[in-house]
Amino acid sequence: MNSVLVLHGPNLNMLGKREPEIYGSDTLEDVNVALGTLSKDLNVLVSCYQSNHEGDLIDAIQAADGKHQAILINPGAYTHTSIAIRDAIASVALPTVEVHLSNIHKREAFRHHSYIAPIAIGQICGFGVNSYYLGLRALVDYLQKCQA
């Protein structure tokens, strides 16, 4: 059975409280529970992890090598700043989908650039928490096609 590492970056632990007009009212726990339910329907394992610390996210990415078959990541603000997270993802060479709750391309100009997108198999943004669920579906579909 395939396994997907789900990474939540900085401030995502504040979902449901932080700017609900942008990020919605669902909590991170709500998202993780829904991902767990969806993963059963998709016949895939998910392991969810959140950190506000860049190095912790990098450690989780590196530890995914040989343990997981793909990564679903919402890097939060690190999307726009972290070459180190980009390099960690590139080093493990696991299929990765980048997700965002808001449409980063309709927001402030500094949010338009992603260091992750060029090495990801895709980016999904602007669908609220559904971005995570669409991202997981896309990863599972990708893995199935690669293994066929």
Q: Which residues are catalytically annotated?
A: 23, 100
Query: Does the annotation flag 111 for ligand binding?
Result: yes
Is 91 labeled as ligand-binding?
Answer: no
Residue 18 is assigned to a ligand binding site: no
Sheet holding 45-50, edge to edge: 45-50, 3-8, 70-74, 96-100, 122-125
Contact 89, 96 (CB under 8 A): yes
Instruction: Tell whether 65 is in a known binding site.
Output: no
Please tell me the total number of residues recorded for the chain in this structure. Answer: 148
Is 68 annotated in some ligand binding site? no
Q: Please give the torsion angle defined by the CA atoms of residues 37, 41, 45 and 48, in that order, rounded to the nearest 10 degrees.
A: -30
87 among annotated binding-site residues: yes
- How far is residue 32 from each of residues 6, 55, 82, measured CA to CA in Å? 9, 22, 24
Task: List, as residue ranges, the binding site for substrate.
Answer: 74, 80, 87, 101-102, 111
Task: List, as residue ranges, the binding site.
Answer: 74, 80, 87, 101-102, 111
